[in-house]
């Protein structure tokens, strides 16, 4: 049995913020602060899905809703739970939410050097769509834009 079968996916709750802050520090060179995460919880245009087991947050995915786009802000999984289906389950939950909401597509940015993440998103139906030069810092790096269409002719 994989971890995703033991994981419960729920919407973001205030009780998740502390553990999300820990995961941010583990996963990102410029982690979001507790205040930013609390602001996301309060933002009516943001949606987060949290995967947990036994009260432990294993990972989360977040999006901002912009017109007919779900702009994915974060996908993060605790290192000890990676490659066990957690991110896939969270991304699928987000996609189901987006489809139910009638959104046309999902987009995200990923570091150009993050080959593992780029492959993961490609395997989940995202295509490279563009580049944002100098988007990231610490270290300085371009972002690769990736998009997944949810409706035919979404980007026409």
User: Strand 141-149 to strand 127-136: parallel, antiparallel, or no bridges (unpaired)?
Assistant: antiparallel
Picking from 117, 2, 93, 9, the residue whose alpha carbon sits closest to that of residue 59 is 9
Q: Looking at 24, 40, 95, 109, which residue is catalytic?
A: 109
Annotated active-site residue in 121, 128, 135, 136: 121
Cβ atoms within 10 Å, residue 86: 25
CA distances to 33, 60, 141 from 37, rounded to whole Å, are 6, 12, 24
Does the active-site annotation cover 95? no
Strand partners, 146: 108, 128
Query: Does 109 participate in catalysis according to the annotation?
Result: yes
Catalytically active residues, by annotation: 109, 121
């Amino acid at each position: 049995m994989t971890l995703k079968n033991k994981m419960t996916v729920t919407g973001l709750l205030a009780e998740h913020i502390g553990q999300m802050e820990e995961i941010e520090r583990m996963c990102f060179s410029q982690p979001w602060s507790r205040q930013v995460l609390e602001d996301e919880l309060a933002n009516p245009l943001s949606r987060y899905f949290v995967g947990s087991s036994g009260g432990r947050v294993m990972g989360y995915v977040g999006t901002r809703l912009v017109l007919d786009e779900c702009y994915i802000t974060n996908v993060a999984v605790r290192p000890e739970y990676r490659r066990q289906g957690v991110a896939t389950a969270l991304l699928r939950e987000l996609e189901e939410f987006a489809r139910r909401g009638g959104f046309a597509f999902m987009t995200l940015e990923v570091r150009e050097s993050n080959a593992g993440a780029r492959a993961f998103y490609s395997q989940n139906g995202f295509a490279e769509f563009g580049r944002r030069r100098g988007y990231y810092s610490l270290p300085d790096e371009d972002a690769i834009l990736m998009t997944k269409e949810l409706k035919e002719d979404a980007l026409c």
